[in-house]
Amino acid sequence: MSDSRRVLFHILILLISKSWSFTINSFWKKFPYTGPVTFNYYSLISNSSLIYCTATCSSLYNWDQIYYQGEDCYCLAPSYVNGTGMVTTNSSMWTIFKEESYCTEKEYKIFPDQKYCLKHFLTGQTWEDDNIRCRQDSGYLISVYTLQDLTNLRSLYTHNRFMYIGAHKKRNGTDFVWTTGGTVSKMFWNSGEPNDASGTEMCASVLSYGAFDDILCNRKFSFICQILTK
Ligand SMILES: [Ca+2]
Protein backbone atom coordinates (compact mmCIF):
# COMPACT_ATOMS: atom_id res chain seq x y z
CA MET A 1 0.00 0.00 0.00
CA SER A 2 1.43 3.37 -0.97
CA ASP A 3 1.67 6.14 1.58
CA SER A 4 -1.16 8.10 0.02
CA ARG A 5 -3.37 5.01 -0.10
CA ARG A 6 -2.47 4.23 3.50
CA VAL A 7 -3.50 7.72 4.55
CA LEU A 8 -6.77 7.37 2.66
CA PHE A 9 -7.32 3.97 4.23
CA HIS A 10 -6.83 5.37 7.73
CA ILE A 11 -9.14 8.28 7.00
CA LEU A 12 -11.76 5.82 5.77
CA ILE A 13 -11.43 3.68 8.89
CA LEU A 14 -11.61 6.77 11.05
CA LEU A 15 -14.79 7.94 9.33
CA ILE A 16 -16.39 4.52 9.59
CA SER A 17 -15.52 4.15 13.25
CA LYS A 18 -16.71 7.69 13.95
CA SER A 19 -20.08 7.14 12.34
CA TRP A 20 -20.41 3.72 13.93
CA SER A 21 -19.55 5.01 17.38
CA PHE A 22 -22.01 7.88 16.90
CA THR A 23 -24.78 5.42 16.21
CA ILE A 24 -23.83 3.23 19.12
CA ASN A 25 -22.86 5.85 21.65
CA SER A 26 -25.11 8.78 20.85
CA PHE A 27 -27.13 8.03 23.90
CA TRP A 28 -28.55 10.13 26.67
CA LYS A 29 -25.47 10.08 28.83
CA LYS A 30 -23.54 11.68 25.99
CA PHE A 31 -25.25 14.98 26.68
CA PRO A 32 -23.03 17.58 28.27
CA TYR A 33 -25.08 18.28 31.37
CA THR A 34 -23.20 17.98 34.58
CA GLY A 35 -25.96 18.57 37.09
CA PRO A 36 -28.84 16.29 37.92
CA VAL A 37 -31.34 16.60 35.15
CA THR A 38 -34.32 14.83 33.69
CA PHE A 39 -35.09 14.94 30.01
CA ASN A 40 -38.70 15.88 29.81
CA TYR A 41 -39.29 17.03 26.29
CA TYR A 42 -39.08 14.68 23.44
CA SER A 43 -40.49 14.17 20.03
CA LEU A 44 -39.99 11.45 17.51
CA ILE A 45 -39.51 12.07 13.82
CA SER A 46 -39.56 8.76 12.01
CA ASN A 47 -37.59 8.04 8.88
CA SER A 48 -35.45 11.10 9.29
CA SER A 49 -31.96 11.81 8.07
CA LEU A 50 -29.49 13.00 10.67
CA ILE A 51 -29.27 16.39 8.95
CA TYR A 52 -33.05 16.79 8.90
CA CYS A 53 -33.25 15.64 12.48
CA THR A 54 -30.68 18.17 13.64
CA ALA A 55 -32.23 21.03 11.70
CA THR A 56 -35.78 20.22 12.75
CA CYS A 57 -35.05 19.73 16.41
CA SER A 58 -33.13 22.97 16.72
CA SER A 59 -35.23 25.23 14.53
CA LEU A 60 -38.75 23.92 14.84
CA TYR A 61 -38.81 22.71 18.38
CA ASN A 62 -35.86 24.56 19.89
CA TRP A 63 -34.79 21.39 21.59
CA ASP A 64 -31.45 21.26 23.28
CA GLN A 65 -30.27 17.90 22.06
CA ILE A 66 -31.10 15.10 19.72
CA TYR A 67 -30.79 11.38 19.87
CA TYR A 68 -30.55 9.79 16.47
CA GLN A 69 -30.46 6.09 15.84
CA GLY A 70 -31.33 4.16 12.77
CA GLU A 71 -33.61 6.55 10.97
CA ASP A 72 -35.49 7.67 14.04
CA CYS A 73 -34.84 11.10 15.48
CA TYR A 74 -35.68 12.12 19.02
CA CYS A 75 -35.73 15.79 19.96
CA LEU A 76 -34.89 16.24 23.61
CA ALA A 77 -34.48 18.93 26.19
CA PRO A 78 -33.65 18.74 29.85
CA SER A 79 -35.67 20.10 32.70
CA TYR A 80 -34.17 21.63 35.77
CA VAL A 81 -36.94 21.37 38.30
CA ASN A 82 -35.35 22.33 41.60
CA GLY A 83 -32.20 20.56 40.54
CA THR A 84 -33.74 17.22 41.32
CA GLY A 85 -33.98 14.16 39.18
CA MET A 86 -31.47 12.16 37.26
CA VAL A 87 -30.55 11.60 33.68
CA THR A 88 -33.18 9.24 32.46
CA THR A 89 -32.43 6.57 29.93
CA ASN A 90 -35.82 4.95 29.91
CA SER A 91 -37.21 4.54 26.41
CA SER A 92 -40.67 5.31 27.79
CA MET A 93 -39.59 8.95 27.66
CA TRP A 94 -40.34 8.98 23.98
CA THR A 95 -43.64 10.15 22.59
CA ILE A 96 -46.28 7.50 22.92
CA PHE A 97 -49.60 7.19 21.16
CA LYS A 98 -52.32 4.81 22.33
CA GLU A 99 -55.52 3.37 20.99
CA GLU A 100 -58.75 4.92 22.28
CA SER A 101 -59.59 1.59 23.88
CA TYR A 102 -56.58 2.10 26.15
CA CYS A 103 -58.13 5.39 27.34
CA THR A 104 -61.35 3.59 28.12
CA GLU A 105 -59.49 0.98 30.16
CA LYS A 106 -57.77 3.74 32.12
CA GLU A 107 -61.04 5.65 32.58
CA TYR A 108 -59.92 8.66 30.58
CA LYS A 109 -62.42 10.84 28.74
CA ILE A 110 -61.86 10.64 24.99
CA PHE A 111 -61.73 13.75 22.82
CA PRO A 112 -61.67 12.14 19.37
CA ASP A 113 -61.45 15.38 17.38
CA GLN A 114 -58.30 16.44 19.19
CA LYS A 115 -56.88 12.93 19.21
CA TYR A 116 -56.30 12.66 22.91
CA CYS A 117 -58.02 11.66 26.10
CA LEU A 118 -57.93 13.33 29.49
CA LYS A 119 -58.31 12.43 33.13
CA HIS A 120 -58.37 14.71 36.14
CA PHE A 121 -56.39 13.54 39.17
CA LEU A 122 -57.73 15.35 42.22
CA THR A 123 -54.86 14.45 44.53
CA GLY A 124 -51.69 15.97 43.19
CA GLN A 125 -48.09 16.18 44.25
CA THR A 126 -45.25 18.35 42.89
CA TRP A 127 -45.10 19.19 39.20
CA GLU A 128 -42.45 16.53 38.68
CA ASP A 129 -44.43 13.90 40.58
CA ASP A 130 -47.60 14.75 38.69
CA ASN A 131 -45.64 14.48 35.46
CA ILE A 132 -44.33 11.07 36.48
CA ARG A 133 -47.85 9.93 37.35
CA CYS A 134 -48.99 10.81 33.85
CA ARG A 135 -46.03 8.99 32.38
CA GLN A 136 -47.09 5.89 34.26
CA ASP A 137 -50.25 5.96 32.14
CA SER A 138 -48.14 6.50 29.01
CA GLY A 139 -49.44 10.05 29.00
CA TYR A 140 -48.34 13.59 29.70
CA LEU A 141 -49.33 16.47 31.87
CA ILE A 142 -51.89 18.23 29.73
CA SER A 143 -50.71 20.53 26.96
CA VAL A 144 -52.89 23.41 25.80
CA TYR A 145 -52.24 24.55 22.26
CA THR A 146 -55.68 25.83 21.28
CA LEU A 147 -58.76 27.38 22.83
CA GLN A 148 -60.50 24.06 22.26
CA ASP A 149 -57.81 22.38 24.36
CA LEU A 150 -58.53 24.91 27.10
CA THR A 151 -62.25 24.25 26.84
CA ASN A 152 -61.59 20.52 27.15
CA LEU A 153 -59.36 21.11 30.16
CA ARG A 154 -61.99 23.25 31.86
CA SER A 155 -64.68 20.66 31.24
CA LEU A 156 -62.80 18.41 33.69
CA TYR A 157 -61.55 21.12 36.03
CA THR A 158 -64.21 21.35 38.70
CA HIS A 159 -62.50 23.03 41.66
CA ASN A 160 -61.18 26.55 42.12
CA ARG A 161 -57.59 25.90 43.07
CA PHE A 162 -54.40 25.94 41.05
CA MET A 163 -53.70 22.97 38.84
CA TYR A 164 -50.36 22.06 37.27
CA ILE A 165 -50.21 21.84 33.51
CA GLY A 166 -47.54 20.33 31.29
CA ALA A 167 -45.37 23.38 30.68
CA HIS A 168 -42.27 24.58 32.39
CA LYS A 169 -39.34 26.82 31.79
CA LYS A 170 -35.92 25.74 30.77
CA ARG A 171 -33.02 26.91 32.88
CA ASN A 172 -31.90 30.38 31.75
CA GLY A 173 -34.82 30.32 29.36
CA THR A 174 -37.63 32.79 29.12
CA ASP A 175 -40.17 30.65 27.30
CA PHE A 176 -42.41 28.05 28.84
CA VAL A 177 -42.46 24.89 26.77
CA TRP A 178 -44.87 21.98 26.74
CA THR A 179 -43.63 18.51 27.54
CA THR A 180 -45.18 17.43 24.25
CA GLY A 181 -43.34 20.19 22.38
CA GLY A 182 -43.69 23.84 21.49
CA THR A 183 -43.94 26.98 23.55
CA VAL A 184 -46.93 28.25 25.50
CA SER A 185 -48.98 30.73 23.52
CA LYS A 186 -49.01 34.22 25.06
CA MET A 187 -52.80 34.39 24.91
CA PHE A 188 -53.22 31.86 27.70
CA TRP A 189 -51.31 33.70 30.42
CA ASN A 190 -53.14 35.60 33.10
CA SER A 191 -52.61 39.36 33.05
CA GLY A 192 -49.08 40.13 34.23
CA GLU A 193 -47.97 36.49 33.98
CA PRO A 194 -45.58 34.81 33.72
CA ASN A 195 -44.00 37.11 36.30
CA ASP A 196 -41.46 34.75 37.89
CA ALA A 197 -42.43 36.34 41.20
CA SER A 198 -39.93 34.52 43.37
CA GLY A 199 -37.28 34.16 40.69
CA THR A 200 -37.86 30.41 40.70
CA GLU A 201 -41.30 30.05 39.17
CA MET A 202 -40.35 27.40 36.69
CA CYS A 203 -43.64 25.50 36.34
CA ALA A 204 -46.95 26.46 34.78
CA SER A 205 -50.35 26.22 36.40
CA VAL A 206 -53.86 27.08 35.39
CA LEU A 207 -56.37 29.00 37.46
CA SER A 208 -59.99 28.02 37.74
CA TYR A 209 -61.09 30.55 35.13
CA GLY A 210 -58.63 29.18 32.61
CA ALA A 211 -55.70 31.61 32.76
CA PHE A 212 -52.13 30.45 33.26
CA ASP A 213 -49.72 31.45 36.02
CA ASP A 214 -46.09 30.49 36.51
CA ILE A 215 -45.54 29.12 40.00
CA LEU A 216 -43.10 27.08 42.06
CA CYS A 217 -42.69 23.47 41.05
CA ASN A 218 -42.72 22.02 44.56
CA ARG A 219 -46.29 22.87 45.49
CA LYS A 220 -48.89 20.10 45.53
CA PHE A 221 -51.64 20.56 43.00
CA SER A 222 -54.12 18.41 41.18
CA PHE A 223 -53.51 17.83 37.51
CA ILE A 224 -54.89 16.46 34.26
CA CYS A 225 -53.10 13.73 32.36
CA GLN A 226 -53.34 13.54 28.61
CA ILE A 227 -52.88 10.41 26.55
CA LEU A 228 -52.24 11.01 22.87
CA THR A 229 -54.28 8.74 20.63
CA LYS A 230 -53.72 7.48 17.13
CA1 LIG B 1 -46.53 33.83 38.61
Say how far apart CA 175 and CA 66 lie, in whole Å. Answer: 20
Span from the CA of 190 to the centroid of ligand 1 (angstroms): 9
Span from the CA of 205 to the centroid of ligand 1 (angstroms): 9
Under the banding of pLDDT at 50, 70 and 90, the label for residue 34 is very low
Number of H helices, E strands in the chain: 5, 12
Q: Are residues 76 and 136 in the same domain?
A: no
Domain assignment of residue 166, yes or no: yes
CATH number at residue 151: 3.10.100.10
Q: Are residues 129 and 217 in the same domain?
A: yes
Tell me how many domains the chain contains.
2
Q: Are residues 67 and 126 in the same domain?
A: no
- Domain enclosing residue 88, as ranges: 26-93
Name 135's Cβ contacts closer than 8 Å, sequence gap at least 6.
92, 93
Span from the CA of 150 to the centroid of ligand 1 (angstroms): 19
User: What is residue 175's predicted lDDT score, i.e. its pLDDT?
Assistant: 81
Sign of the CA dihedral with 92 first, then 94, 98, and 103 last: positive
Span from the CA of 115 to the centroid of ligand 1 (angstroms): 30
Q: Is the pLDDT of residue 92 over 50?
A: no
Domain assignment of residue 51, yes or no: yes
Q: Are residues 165 and 101 in the same domain?
A: yes
Per-residue b/e over 129-144, b at no fewer than 16 CB within 10 Å?
ebbebbbebbbbbbbb
Span from the CA of 83 to the centroid of ligand 1 (angstroms): 20
Q: What is the pLDDT of residues 49-61, one digit of tens each?
A: 777 777 777 665 5
Q: What is the pLDDT of residues 174-198, one digit of tens each?
A: 788 887 777 899 999 999 999 999 8
Q: Are residues 59 and 110 in the same domain?
A: no
Span from the CA of 203 to the centroid of ligand 1 (angstroms): 9
Span from the CA of 64 to the centroid of ligand 1 (angstroms): 25
Q: What is the pLDDT of residues 123-170, one digit of tens each?
A: 999 998 898 899 888 888 999 999 999 999 999 987 778 999 999 886
Q: What are phi and psi of 174, to 5 degrees?
A: -110, -20
Q: Are residues 113 and 87 in the same domain?
A: no
Span from the CA of 94 to the centroid of ligand 1 (angstroms): 29
Residue 209 DSSP symbol: T
Sign of the CA dihedral with 197 first, then 149, 230, and 45 last: negative
* Listed residues 40, 74, 93: the one ending a domain: 93
Domain assignment of residue 207, yes or no: yes
* Listed residues 64, 93, 122: the one ending a domain: 93
Span from the CA of 218 to the centroid of ligand 1 (angstroms): 14
Q: Are residues 119 and 200 in the same domain?
A: yes
Say how far apart CA 100 and CA 93 lie, in whole Å. Answer: 20
The mean pLDDT value for 99-128 works out to 95
What is the four-CA torsion angle of 127, 132, 135, 139, rounded to 10 degrees? -20
Span from the CA of 155 to the centroid of ligand 1 (angstroms): 24
Span from the CA of 196 to the centroid of ligand 1 (angstroms): 5
* Listed residues 69, 93, 117: the one ending a domain: 93
Q: Are residues 41 and 88 in the same domain?
A: yes
Q: Is the pLDDT of residue 77 over 70?
A: no
